[in-house]
Structure 1
Amino acid sequence: MDQTINIGSQATFTCSSTGVPTPAITWYNDSSAITPVGQISLVEVIEVVNGEDVVTGILTITSVGREDNGVYKCASSNANGVYIFTSQAARLIVRERPDDVRLSVTTVNSTALQVTWTVGMTGNLDILDSQVRYRGFIDGEWTPHSPWRATGISSTNAPGPPHGLQAAQISHDTVHLTWQPPLRTNGVIRSYTVQYGVSVTCETAEFSHQVTTSDGSTTTVIGDLVPYTNYTFRTQQPQLSRRLQTSTTVTAGRQTSPGRSSCV
């Protein structure tokens, strides 16, 4: 289950596996195996049910930090190294205070200055309010501070790219697309755009169609495809450039698993 918690709080993930010989569980953050060190502990509880060993793995991060953001999953194998299963992914979003502001001031004319500022990391929350305080130095003395407030959602940092795009064939002309949200959302994801079209190669794909999801949904169904025709699908947030998109290629009408393209 996905978790969104404040920095310094505790996060716990669990998964279970059944088998003989006794399964062993390995945890991953994205593609990196997790080892018990520092704030991270790994515990396995073994029970015998109907003659089989049931192992419950518990991953605990006692005080989460920025580096703990990511997608977590567990894999299981038995004593002979035989792969049993990989769990569904669970995403951890760590909320924290935003990075310090980087400020720049440019002279517009004799009575006006242009002030701009950026924030490196928003802390996985929208920045709804900014306040600038300023004062002048007149006749050798500083004047009192004068506040100026800017209100609105920050658009400085676009979300990261969605990932894990997969296509499952429903019928001869329909596919079901699913994907994972960005690891760095930098706010609330309200929609995704899916582009698709007939493809000969990744570079010559013509993305002549698109659909937009609502409420941040990470799944959609595409129909009315031409059977036995290669299609390339890619999903993105509207403001992302092409190099940050994620894509996969499927063939509608064939009873095979969708293949992956090298389009990125």
Structure 2
Amino acid sequence: MGVEPVPDEPAAVADCDGERALVVADYHAGIERGLRRQGVELESDADARRERLLALLDRTEPDRLVVLGDLAHAIGDPEGAEHEELTTLLDAVSVPVTLVKGNHDGDLEPFLGEFEDVTVTPSHGTRIGPVGFVHGHTWPSPDVLRADVLCVGHEHPVVRLEDEVGGTRVERAWLRGGLDPDPFEAFHDLELDVRGDLVVFPAFNDRSGGTWVNVEGQEFLSPFLPAGLAGGEAYLLDGTRLGDYRRV
């Protein structure tokens, strides 16, 4: 389908008309600073985050890195440790970067202007060949919706799994299915020629929490989910297919 998850990683490789892209969502650089303001004290994981991403770039050898929004965590001009983390990361990435603007990336353009190989898209997303990219906090544009595959972040999907003795664990997950045109046509007040697939990415940052998609009553964050996902199935990072995410 043109977008294939990297086994055991919250990342995928997308075939964008001959250009190979590594795609990740919700990096949330500097998240520890935000957690500290909520009373949660954690040592910075900045070095490990960066090394995980650089290792993925080495492993997949893409032509481009696409970040599906929320590269940063603080909503505003990055400061202090967050500024340092972003600078060190972007200096180390050896391929062009496309940031699909997310809700945490509101004031990043002046900072990112210092890096000549970084492009920031509008919040309604972008399309590179047959693949569309949007963060997910706002509605994709009609052009992005006409992609063969639409990649979405923002939601941080996780599933709660229970074993035979009643123990539980929470795992990051992919959501994949068809794209239901109805909510998008209603929003844009247009008839859209939409026949593609929709892939909701797990968060790259493992400290960012998530939407428990298989828990009854859990509300989604994105304005077009879950209505825009038809026949959605959940998959673990190791590729395990869990089936209909609502019945896991």
Into which bin does the TM-score normalised by the smaller protein fall? under 0.3
TM-score normalised by the chain length of structure 2: 0.27
Report the TM-score, using the length of structure 1 for normalisation.
0.26
Give the number of the structure whose residues are more often strand, by fraction. 1
Q: Which has the larger radius of gyration?
A: 1
Q: Higher RCO, 1 or 2 (CA under 8 Å, sep at least 6)?
A: 2
